[in-house]
Chains A and B, each alone.
Chain A
Amino acid sequence: MTIANGSAIALADINAMTTTALGNVRTDNAQLPIALEWTVPFRAMRSNAPITPEYARRAFLVAPRDLWLDTLTLKVHGLNGTTTATIEQEAAVGTALAFISATVSVVGAGAAATASAVRTLYDNTRASAKSALIPVNPVFRTVPKGTRMRMTLTTTNTLGSEHVWCTLVCREGYARP
């Protein structure tokens, strides 16, 4: 509202003066935008000769900031078996911590078919430990800044024409410069 000398101001007017602005500030302070969509392409992975070596089926991501894992997706074309993508946090190079592990699998339907899968790692639902006699903890995964994360794909595919895209979507908060 606009107030001027001589205005009659109601109590609500006075309280509303800063409430909207403070609401904007609080909303901004609490936002956790999607700040990371890490898509890695893979080609022609196969489990028969010539077997695709393990190093050609993985990729690494170092968390630029504290991350909240949101979604893991996998799209596969030209697959006649099962392809599984696993995201793990490395305790040391080559050693995975299981608690952060997340997987998504796709069963293919042949050389000309495309299949995909989406796994929501956190779906914005809230669960309170006080809401039931047997508490149900919300499932969420966070990784601290600097964490080395490993994306590994395994496959039973025997075709040589597989096209794979694996995407990890994460959220992060803003930092001070």
Chain B
Amino acid sequence: MKVLTTNPHGFLAGDVLDPNDIGRTLRYAADAFADVSTLRAQEAPLLLPFIRGFSFTQAASLEERTARIRAPFNCTIERAFLSANLVSDGEVQITIEASGGALPEGATSPWLTTTSASLSAAVDVNDIATERVTLVAGTTYLVKVVLGPGATVFVIDRLDVLLHLRFDRWQLAAATTLVPPTYTVPRSGDARDAVALNASLTSLAAAAALLSTNNGVVVPIVAIQVNFVTGATAGQTDMPIPRLSSTRAQGRVVRIDMFVHWDAATADTVTGTLRDETGAALETITCAGGGGTFTPNTLSCNRSIVSATANVTTTVAQDYAFRMVSSGAANVRKAYAILWVAR
């Protein structure tokens, strides 16, 4: 609907005001608010961090064949897409489960499949799942690549699982609903009660103010590094995050989930840092091997990633970055982080 900036029933000097005039204005404003406030759903894609640039087989470790999601807000997966290039002697399946093995609400098993054997990696394999899957905030979900019935081998050269995540903007505002304005519509013949009118206007202004203070969307950004040890250069480890002008965007990183998997048990650590355009570390998160092969970690933060200047020139210097580096010589098979950005 078209919303006017000025009072649609703007009063002019010399008007003889009837309570109906004010009543219509209130009713219009409240209806406009009610209409806009229902525009609250946002969908963002999330490309799950399976290995790219390297192949893996059915013999790969669980973590190599797995991508994890831990959303900071309740959300749903509206659609899931599989796009892959592989060779297999039977069906390869993608499953989703909570860490305890339970299916999330709405999910089926298998979730996505290649449906049959794939004889050549040069042939694209695609699938789509349209069940609405509910993800509970803070719960870790595992998306696994597994052999289907009768299949014994696969070699996967490329495997992309793309999710359409649906968020409610009021989840980001730590609220579950938007309080509508309450108002009393004055009518002709009503007693002249400025107090009641004032209460209506105050309620309307408070409700409308929520729109301007909670206008964010959720954007997950995925960083992944594979097969690396200590000594990698910044050019190899820094995933760029486009730094957009504050006149064109808002943005703050509100949480970072990082997952690290080593080839063998180690005491090494992998440190992830959110960096500005000068290379200065703004946020730091560490996963310590601790004698194992897999470690997750989560960092809550509230870090702005917008610039006061427009990023329209062709320079790398204006980008933020997320860097993952290892402390030792143990090979990191896969390290990935999901940065949850409020835009």
Smallest CB-CB A-B distances: 3 pairs: A43-B53, A77-B235, A64-B43
Q: Provide the A6-21 mask, 1 if CB < 8 A to any CB of B, else 0.
A: 1101010011011111
B interface majority secondary structure? mixed
Known: A38-B47, A39-B239, A75-B319. A33 touches B194 (CB 8 A): no
Q: Provide the B328-342 mask, 1 if CB < 8 A to any CB of A, else 0.
A: 000000000000010
The answer to whether B85 touches A56 (Cβ under 8 A) is yes
A116 to B: closest C-beta gap in Å = 4
The answer to whether A21 touches B240 (Cβ under 8 A) is no
Return the contact of A18 from the options B7, B79, B239 (Cβ within 8 A): B7
Tell me the A1-40 residues at the B interface (CB within 8 Å).
Answer: 2-7, 9, 11, 14-15, 17-29, 31, 33-40
A residues with CB within 8 A of B? 2-7, 9, 11, 14-15, 17-29, 31, 33-44, 53, 55-56, 59-62, 64-65, 70-71, 73, 75, 77-78, 93, 112-118, 120, 123-124, 161, 163, 165, 167, 169, 172-177
Return 15 A-B CB contacts under 8 Å, by A number. Answer: A17-B201, A21-B29, A21-B33, A21-B207, A21-B209, A28-B215, A39-B223, A39-B240, A44-B53, A71-B311, A78-B236, A112-B235, A117-B314, A167-B240, A169-B242
| Contacts between the two chains (Cβ within 8 Å), count | 244
Beyond A25-B33, A165-B239, list 10 extra A-B contacts (CB 8 Å): A18-B29, A26-B4, A27-B212, A29-B1, A33-B216, A40-B52, A55-B122, A55-B158, A56-B85, A116-B319
Residues of the A chain whose Cβ atoms lie less than 8 Å from the Cβ of B233: 77, 112
Tell me the B203-229 residues at the A interface (CB within 8 Å).
Answer: 204-205, 207-209, 211-212, 215-217, 219, 221-224, 226
Residues of the A chain whose Cβ atoms lie less than 8 Å from the Cβ of B313: 118
Residues of the B chain whose Cβ atoms lie less than 8 Å from the Cβ of A34: 217, 219, 244, 249, 251, 343
Stretch at the interface among B95-103, B139-147, B160-168, B296-304: B160-168
* CB-nearest residue of chain B to A175: B41
Return the contact of B25 from the options A18, A55, A113, A177 (Cβ within 8 A): A18
The answer to whether A4 touches B162 (Cβ under 8 A) is no
* CB-nearest residue of chain B to A5: B194
The answer to whether B11 touches A11 (Cβ under 8 A) is yes
B42 at the interface (CB under 8 A from A): yes
Most buried by B among A4, A33, A65, A120: A33
Residues of the A chain whose Cβ atoms lie less than 8 Å from the Cβ of B124: 55, 93
Residues of the B chain whose Cβ atoms lie less than 8 Å from the Cβ of A6: 194
B247 at the interface (CB under 8 A from A): yes
Residues of the B chain whose Cβ atoms lie less than 8 Å from the Cβ of A41: 52-53, 224, 239
A106 to B: closest C-beta gap in Å = 9
Complex CA–CA separation, A119 to B45 (angstroms): 21
Complex CA–CA separation, A56 to B85 (angstroms): 8
Complex CA–CA separation, A163 to B316 (angstroms): 14
B259 to A: closest C-beta gap in Å = 15
Most buried by A among B32, B54, B122: B32
The answer to whether A78 touches B5 (Cβ under 8 A) is no
The answer to whether A177 touches B205 (Cβ under 8 A) is no
